Structure 1
Amino acid sequence: MARIDPLVQRCVTFSHIKQLHAHLLTSGLFLSHSILRRQFVEHCSLSPWASLDHALSTFLSIPHPTTDDYNSILRGLAASPSPVSALSFYAGFVSSSPPRPDALSLSFTLKACARCASLPFSLQLHSHLVQFGFSADTILMTTLIDAYAKCGCIDNARNVFDEMPCRDITTWNVLLSGFVLWGHPHLALHLFRQLCGVSSSVSPNETPNSSTVIAAIAACSQLGTIANGEEVHSFARASKLDSQIIVKNALIDMYSKCGSVDMAMKVFRSISEPDMTLISYNTILHALSMHSRGAGVLKMFEKLPRHIEPDSITYLAVLCGCNHAGLVDDGLRVFNSMRVTPSMKHYGTLVNMLCRTGRLSEAYGVINTIPFEPDIVIWHTLLGASQTYGDVPLAEVAAKKVAELGSNMDGDYVLLSNIYASNSRWHDVDHVRTTMQCNDVRKIPGFSYIEINGTMHKFIKGDRSHPRWKEISNALHDISVRIRALGYVPEVQNVLHDIGEEEKQHELYLHSEKLAIAFGLISTDPGVELRVIKNLRICGDCHTVAKLVSKAYNRVIVVRDRARFHRFEGGECSCQDFW
């Protein structure tokens, strides 16, 4: 066996595997040595040059398979392109008992559950885990938490975590990552702080590591609050985890998403040249791009070290940077010199770039040359630009394509209606409204966050439930007076409801970002920068109001919407009024 065992690992082609299989059969070793058989079947099911089908047929030839034999196949199926096959195989295993599944059987099957997000099977495995006496197995319970988290059942994951008598750092990291995965950054940071308290006073095997910090940093990125990000960064620095390149890359991303591109650049510059990776460059390029630092993006791109080969993500970041900064000619040059095959996102960014400078016919020409079916985002871009530049024929083409691709977004109908209205085509405006009613088009609720003294305040469009509503209402009135003096005219054409002019103005008045900005003004000292996070694209009227508020109150206002950052200062926006 000592002589045969290395041969299993030396099989590097399917032909080698078949030859070794034949030798094991003719020598009798296949049936007499269960450990060697397990290694062979496992190698056959996991090796990239092997065959899972051959592993299964080999398994079926075993007269009395052991638990190890079953586990060899389970492991291969769980890691295969079709992990759901592991679930049915496990079900057959349980029904044919003996032999009985062991901890490895449950572990492999739980990993398959996590990959295919099968909550019913995860629940079944949870009961088996208790039934077979493995509820004290820390590794297995951690795998169960991961399965529940990947299935989106965060409550079950938390309950299992709370009931565990013993945990290790992987257990904490799995739940922490689950909270981040399903958009619960507050819960993630609460758990992180709880862990920091535990690790400093109780268990050395619960000491936070780089995975812990990266998950906490991701939670800060979701929240968009720089105070939380600085807290986690300080912890990483004190724990000497901030020296790891993966942590530095996460910090760059976090600071950029929290609106501090200068801090992102500071972290990037702290990376020594030997440690610099393509991911580091891609992350800082995207950070600069998101903040409209187009010249900085190009300068960084042109100075890429020779040993770092740009990939599709690199080129996308550079194109986005050129797009946000209006550097169309530079963007075209980069696109035409790409050393990778352009994807939908590359073409979409190029179209957006041309649209923002009014080169709609060129943009439409690019769309017609895309070697695959343009997606709805590209047609959205053309539709929005057609409104901006009043190109009715192109708007109708784009709107038709958007409808064909199944859009049910109210914003698309608003754009088309505005184009018709600006050309006095009132019959077509009525038709758009009727179509919206027939298609049951619903508006996605808009909401905005603003952090004041470490507390996040959420505002929903039209919501008057905030405890300081009277003060907010007074602030909104003061804003209205000041910005009207600067020439503000409400963009009531963005409201499609069949209501009077005054009601339309009032509806615009209560958009969530306006509520957040008003609250920020009454809750902070003069001159303090306001940071708002919006779940949707900022509308034209709110964009205009934010510009004028920044001038009227001498404030910097940073708004992160679903696409980019807008930095309003002195009556201007970093997006140059195209977003």
Structure 2
Amino acid sequence: MACKLDSLLEKCTSLSRIKQLQAHLITTGQFQFHPFRTKLLELCAVSSSGNIPFAGDIFREIQRPSTNDWNAIVRGLAQSSEPTEAISWYRTMLRRSQKVDALTCSFALKACARALAFYEAMQIHSHVVRFGFKADVLLQTTLLDVYAKTGDLDGAQKVFDEMGMRDIASWNALISGLAQGCRPNEALTLFDRMKEEGWRPNEVTVLGALSACSQLGAIKRGENIHAYIVDEKLDMNVIVCNAVIDMYAKCGFVDKAYSVFSSMSCRKSLITWNTMIMGFAMNGDGNEALNLLDKMVLDGVSLDAVSYLAALCACNHAGLVEEGVQLFDSMLKSGVNPNVKHYGSVVDLLGRAGRLKEAYDIINSMPMVPDIVLWQSLLGAGKTYGNVEMAEMASKRLVEMGSKSCGDFVLLSNLYAAQQRWDDVGRVREVMKRMDVRKVPGFSYMEVDGKIHKFVNGDKSHANSQEIYAKLDEIKFRIKGYGYIAETNLVLHDIGEEDKENALNYHSEKLAVAYGLISTSDGTPIQINKNLRICVDCHAMIKIISKIYNREIIVRDRARFHRFNEGLCSCRDYW
């Protein structure tokens, strides 16, 4: 009989077959007692051919459900589109005094991770301790993962540190969590520690490490990880290749990204193409991005919404206005429905080109409600082109939408300052104070000799602070001979002219450039990452520095890359 039921289970490849087996168990009187009942329940709740609602119907027919029966339902719900239901079933088990085991807790925690249910995860953690499951490595790894995914990285680290035994999944969960939680330095430190303790990173490990390198612009570390990937033949995995392409592009080496793209031995996915196009976009290579989009079509790959968005971003960063407008029109005709990000890209494209009326008309013609980013784009364009009326209108909409972004107020204030409208500057500052709007501090970081150095505006905490400021004084003296005049009209009007120049001179990217000049060999590129958009004054100053000191200086700001060389920038002063 057991062999016959095993054979029947193998044939349950559809819901109708599952129902036939259930009927067989009921009619033969085996449904309430036979262990195959639980296997049937698992098949219905977990497999692709199953059906969660029907699994619930089967469960309710069981007179005395076992822990395994409950686990089948909790597991199925945890991986369904309604993971919170799994948490509810887990609670029901506790209320009915049903015995839970390590698997029950594991499935419920996976549901918490998917639902980002932090407090529920903490409660289950207490149950894990109370029920004596702390020694279970898989359960501890699941617990670590849920803390990482819900943003409690300190909690995840604590679980990791307290584990008596670890497996590679434990290391991967914490490395990925740190990378995704904006703690890339710690992710790379843990990656190094993992190798020192004799573990061999796998595909999942290198994905987390590459993400960390992308955030930091840590090209040397990224190259070392790429070499490891090739040696271990992990580049047979298309997801790993996509991450390598993304890392090189985000570190400013789009040529290396394209080399990986061109030489892939595994089949390119749609994500591969989109990643490469976006890489060209953020590096300002608009024509290359559009050429690759054409090649993508010729190769028979169907464009999706992300493909169009990446290409529109490329047009935006390269100032290819007509090409961008035509691309958007072709998207509308292709049947791919644009979302608010596509409209935002076109609005930004037109706004940067000074076509503010067209940008405003597109916002008004959208089939969905414009988001905050669209109005911020229009506000930025109004500031760039001195259109006070458009900027004020966009600012009003942003306030109505409840935006408290300091950038919104700073843009309007800078526009007023540029036109010497100091009363209006004061009014904006008062509104910021009343609404408790705080300016996001600017910071920059760079990799030198494998170590990450961070700089904050006006900061003097760096070990080489004295040499950095001495170099800045030298730079300040030399660049004036090349016609540099500080953009002091953008600084608060109620401080002296010399203080205004100092406020500009000590921006984080300038501190980073000065450190790059004193800590790296002549002729080598200086690479910097910044959390905000580079300001007009820093942009003008770094162009001159690149000429005077004969250095290529690469700055990745929040939006794109700027490659300064011989007094020019790759963005052609269009950003």
Structure 1 and Structure 2 fold alike (TM over 0.5): yes
- Asked if the contact 1:8/1:40 (under 8 Å) is kept, the reply is no
- Residue 489 (structure 1) shift: 2.0
1:74–1:105: 8 Å Cα contact kept in structure 2?
A: yes
Q: What pairs with 1:380-529 in structure 2 (closer than 5 Å)?
A: 380-496=376-492, 498-529=494-525
State, as a whole percentage, how many aligned pairs show the same letter: 50
Q: Distance between the aligned counterparts of 2:41 and 2:523, measured in 1?
A: 69
Answer with 46-55 or 157-166: which moved more: 46-55
Q: Decide whether the 8 Å contact of 2:444 with 2:529 is kept in 1.
A: yes
When residues 438 and 153 of structure 1 are mapped into structure 2, their CA distance, relative to the original with a 3 A threshold, is closer
Q: Separation in 2 of the partners of 1:156 and 1:416?
A: 41
Distance 1:208 1:470 in 2: 41
Q: Is there any run of 5+ residues in structure 2 with no aligned partner, and where?
A: none
Secondary structure class of the residue paired with 1:528: coil
CA distance in 1, matches of 2:496, 2:378: 30
Contact 1:550 1:571 in 2 (8 A): yes
Matched residue SS, 2:72? helix
Larger deviation: 233-242 or 310-319? Answer: 233-242
Secondary structure at the counterpart of residue 350 of structure 2 = helix
2:546 to 542, 550, 554: 550
Aligned to 1:253: 246
Residues 182/331 of structure 1: CA separation in 2 closer, same or farther (3 Å cut)? same
Instruction: Give the equivalent residue in structure 2 for 1:75.
Output: 75
Q: Which moved more, 1:1-10 or 1:565-574?
A: 1-10
Q: Name the structure 2 match of 1:203.
A: none
Q: Does 1:310 align with 2:306?
A: no
Where do 1:326-341 residues align within 5 Å?
Answer: 326-338=319-331, 339=334, 340-341=336-337
CA deviation after TM superposition for structure 1 residue 392, in Å? 2.0
Aligned to 2:230, the other structure's residue is in SS state helix
More displaced, 37-46 or 454-463?
A: 37-46
1:489 aligned counterpart, secondary structure: coil
Counterpart contact for 1:261–1:288, Cα < 8 Å: yes
Match of 2:289 among 290, 297, 312: 297
1:557-576 per-residue CA deviation (whole Å, 9 max, x = no partner) reads 11111111111112222222
1:228 alignment partner AA: R
Deviates more, 1:4-13 or 1:81-90: 4-13
CA distance 1:178–1:479, shift in 2 (3 Å): same
Provide closer, same or farther for how the CA distance between residues 232 and 40 of structure 1 changes in structure 2, counting only shifts above 3 A. Answer: same
Residue 560 of structure 1 corresponds to: 556
Identify if the C-alpha distance between structure 1 residues 413 and 144 changes in structure 2 by more than 3 Å, giving closer, same or farther: closer
How does 1:253-292 map onto structure 2 within 5 Å? 253-272=246-265, 275-292=267-284
> What is the SS of the residue equivalent to 2:447?
strand
What amino acid does structure 2 have at the position aligned with 1:311?
D
Which amino acid in 2 is paired with 1:266?
Answer: S
Give the letter for the 1:128 counterpart.
Answer: H
* Contact 1:559 1:565 (8 Å CA) reproduced: yes
State the distance in 2 between where 1:444 and 1:28 align: 69
State the alpha-carbon separation in 2 of the partners of residues 138 and 437 from structure 1. 51
Distance 1:23 1:498 in 2: 86
Alignment-derived partner of residue 32 in structure 2: 31
Q: Are 2:172 and 1:173 aligned?
A: yes
Residue identity opposite 2:278 in structure 1: H
Q: Following TM superposition, by how much is the alpha carbon of 1:103 offset from its aligned partner in structure 2, in angstroms? A: 2.5
Does the 8 A contact of 1:113 with 1:119 survive in 2?
yes
Moved more, 126-135 or 253-262: 126-135
Distance of 2:110 and 2:78 partners within structure 1 = 7
How much does 1:372 deviate? 0.6
Secondary structure of the equivalent of 1:41? Answer: helix
TM superposition shift of 1:54: 4.4
**Alpha-carbon spacing, 1:36–1:461, altered in 2? closer, same or farther (3 Å):** same
Of the candidates 371, 374, 385, which is equivalent to residue 367 of structure 2?
371
- TM-score in terms of structure 2 length: 0.92
8 A contact 1:8–1:43 mirrored in 2: no
Query: Is the alpha carbon distance of 1:119 and 1:225 closer, same or farther for their aligned partners in structure 2, counting shifts above 3 Å?
Result: same
Distance 1:134 1:410 in 2: 47
In 1, Cα distance between equivalents of 2:375 and 2:118: 37
**Is there any run of 5+ residues in structure 1 with no aligned partner, and where?**
200-205
Whether the 8 Å contact between 1:547 and 1:572 is mirrored in structure 2 is yes
Shift in Å at residue 236 of structure 1?
1.6
SS in 2 for 1:161: helix
Q: Bigger CA drift: 123-132 or 556-565?
A: 123-132
Structure-2 change in CA distance of 1:431 and 1:120 (3 Å): closer
Q: Which amino acid aligns with 1:484?
A: K
Q: CA, structure 1 residues 480+117, in 2 after alignment: closer, same or farther (shift >3 Å)?
A: same
Whether the aligned pair in 2 keeps the contact of 1:414 and 1:494 (CA below 8 Å) is no
Distance 1:411 1:127, change over 3 A: closer
Q: Is the 8 A contact 1:530 1:558 kept in 2?
A: yes
Confirm or deny: 8 A CA contact 1:413 1:436 kept in the other structure.
yes
1:216 aligns with 2:209: yes
- Residue 95 of structure 1 and its aligned partner are, at CA, apart by 3.8
Q: Letter of the aligned partner of 2:29 in structure 1?
A: G
Structure-to-structure mapping, 1:145-164, within 5 angstroms: 145-164=144-163
Can you list the C-alpha shifts for 1:466-509, whole angstroms capped at 9, x where unaligned? 23222222211122122222222222232236323332222112
Counterpart AA for 1:485: G
In structure 1, the partner of 2:230 is 237
Q: Give the Å deviation of 1:4.
A: 5.9
Q: CA RMSD in A?
A: 2.4
Deviation at 1:522, TM superposition (A): 1.8
Q: Which has the larger displacement, 258-267 or 400-409? A: 400-409
Shift in CA distance, 131/448, structure 1 to aligned 2, threshold 3 Å: same
- The change in CA–CA distance for 1:412 and 1:9 in structure 2 (over 3 A counts) is farther
Matched-pair contact (CA < 8 Å) for 1:42–1:73: yes
Name the aligned partner's letter for residue 109 of structure 1: A
TM-score by length of 1: 0.91
Distance 2:55 2:172 in 1: 34
Conserved 8 A contact 2:319-2:574: no
Measured in 2, the distance between the counterparts of 1:152 and 1:425 equals 44
Deviations 1:179-209 (A, max 9, x none): 212122222222222222333xxxxxx5322
Greater RCO, 1 or 2 (C-alpha within 8 Å, sep 6+): 2
- Alpha carbons 2:281, 2:289 under 8 Å: kept: yes
Q: Is 1:361 aligned to 2:361, yes or no?
A: no
Q: 1:42 & 1:8 partners in 2: Cα distance? A: 13
Q: How far apart are 1:285 and its partner, in Å?
A: 0.9
Name the SS for the 1:242 alignment partner.
helix
C-alpha displacement at 1:113, in angstroms? 2.0
Q: Distance between the aligned counterparts of 1:405 and 1:232, measured in 2?
A: 44
User: d(CA) in 1 for partners of 2:11 and 2:435?
Assistant: 60
Q: Does structure 1 conserve the Cα–Cα contact (< 8 Å) formed by 2:274 and 2:306?
A: yes
Q: By how many angstroms is 1:390 displaced?
A: 1.8
Separation in 2 of the partners of 1:76 and 1:244? 28
